[in-house]
C-alpha cells in the first residue's frame, strides 16, 4: 500500500469539502437532546440538497451528481 498525501489546502482535490458549509446550516449553533433529533435534521437537509442538483454540481463540479439515487 502506498499513501498519497494531499496538499494542506486543496479544495479542487476534495470537492465535497464545499458541501459542509451548506449541510451544517440547520445544525450550527444548536443543541439536540437526542442523537435521533440530530439525525432527523441532517436527513431532512440532505433531502433538500438532493433536489438542488445544479446548485450542488456548481459547488463540486461532480458531473455524476444527477445519476446518484437518494
pLDDT of residue 2: 92
- Tell me the whole-structure pTM to 2 decimals: 0.61
pLDDT of residue 64: 55
Domain for residue 12, yes or no? no
Domain for residue 28, yes or no? yes
Q: Are 3 and 18 in contact (CB under 8 A)?
A: no
Domain for residue 2, yes or no? no
Domain for residue 43, yes or no? yes
What is the tens place of the pLDDT at every residue in 10-66? 766 777 778 888 888 889 999 999 999 999 999 999 999 889 888 887 887 766 555
* More confident of the two residues 70 and 56: 56
Range of the domain at 48: 17-67
> Does position 68 have pLDDT exceeding 70, yes or no?
no
Report how many domains make up the chain: 1
- The CA distance from 2 to 68, in Å, is 30
Q: Which three cell numbers stand for residue 18?
A: 464545499
Amino acid at each position: 500500500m502506498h499513501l498519497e498525501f494531499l496538499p494542506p489546502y486543496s479544495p479542487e482535490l476534495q470537492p465535497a469539502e464545499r458541501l459542509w458549509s451548506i449541510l451544517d446550516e440547520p445544525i450550527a449553533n444548536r443543541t439536540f437532546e437526542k442523537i435521533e433529533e440530530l439525525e432527523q435534521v441532517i436527513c431532512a437537509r440532505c433531502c433538500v440538497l438532493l433536489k438542488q442538483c445544479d446548485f450542488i454540481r456548481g459547488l463540486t463540479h461532480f458531473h455524476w451528481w444527477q445519476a446518484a439515487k437518494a
